[in-house]
Amino acid sequence: MRPVIITAIILIIILSCVFGFFFIKPFITPGEKTETPELTKIIPEQEEQPEEPSCSDDCQTETCHGFKYYQCVLQEDGCKHKVDSGVVKGKCGIDCFLNSDCGTGKECLSYKCQTAEAGLDLADIPEPFLTDTWVVVGANAPSMDIMSAVEITTMLQKETGTKTDAKLDSDIAGQESSHNLILIGSPCDNKFVEKIFGMVCEGWSLSEGKALIKITENKDKIAMLIAGNSSQDTLRAAKMVAAYSSNDLDGKEMIV
């Protein structure tokens, strides 16, 4: 009896496997594999590194263009570019700005310390300019420079009894050494300031509220400069020169 039972059980198991295979097979896609879930490896994101700037026009060396000094300065784009630093003492042949930058017996002309000619002194005003004098204003100068010129011509007329001519710088080209000159205004406004005193607009760096009164030789003639940080400062200095007897003008140069 037992062998029959065992045989029946084995037969049932075999039939179940065969029948089950044919029943499930239609639902299985050929070639389909059962995927085993994998653990995802978490990789931290890399921070983007900033790109190195491409500096095709990178400044390599400091240079001079005339009196103007150009230096290499690092800019926001990460590159060095040439920057106009203007006129800088100690660069591009600039030894001085004022007579006070030079030693005793020297004066500053064209940014160089030179031997000062004896005999010229602001204390002698108005005597050097009582004859053969032009008061010169820049053709494009501020209107207040005209007022400064009027202060000076009025003073000279009172001293001499004759009219002193006022000229525009554009009117006396090539004649600047034929007369004594009183130049009104900075080198930015009066071109003869650079020609006679050697000062350029880029190097004009008087402090706010200050003015320069300076006297020098102009070949066989005399030249005086009255120029301020602003046209208001120029006018104030011109009034000081016009009222010379009430002001202690002295030396070849004064900052007032």
Report the chain (256 residues): mean pLDDT per 10 consecutive residues. 66 62 53 54 63 70 86 84 85 87 86 84 94 95 96 95 93 92 96 93 89 94 96 97 93 94
**Domain ranges in the chain?**
118-255
Q: What is residue 205's predicted lDDT score, i.e. its pLDDT?
A: 81
Q: What is residue 4's predicted lDDT score, i.e. its pLDDT?
A: 64
Residue type, 210: K
Q: What is residue 22's predicted lDDT score, i.e. its pLDDT?
A: 53
Q: What is residue 54's predicted lDDT score, i.e. its pLDDT?
A: 73
Q: What is residue 15's predicted lDDT score, i.e. its pLDDT?
A: 62
Q: What is residue 87's predicted lDDT score, i.e. its pLDDT?
A: 85
Note the pTM of the prediction, 2 decimals.
0.71
Residue type, 119: G
Q: What is residue 3's predicted lDDT score, i.e. its pLDDT?
A: 64
Q: What is residue 194's predicted lDDT score, i.e. its pLDDT?
A: 93
Q: What is residue 50's predicted lDDT score, i.e. its pLDDT?
A: 60
* Token pair belonging to 239: 């009034």
Q: What is residue 224's predicted lDDT score, i.e. its pLDDT?
A: 97
Q: Which CATH class is domain 118-255?
A: alpha beta
Q: What is residue 109's predicted lDDT score, i.e. its pLDDT?
A: 87
Q: What is residue 145's predicted lDDT score, i.e. its pLDDT?
A: 97
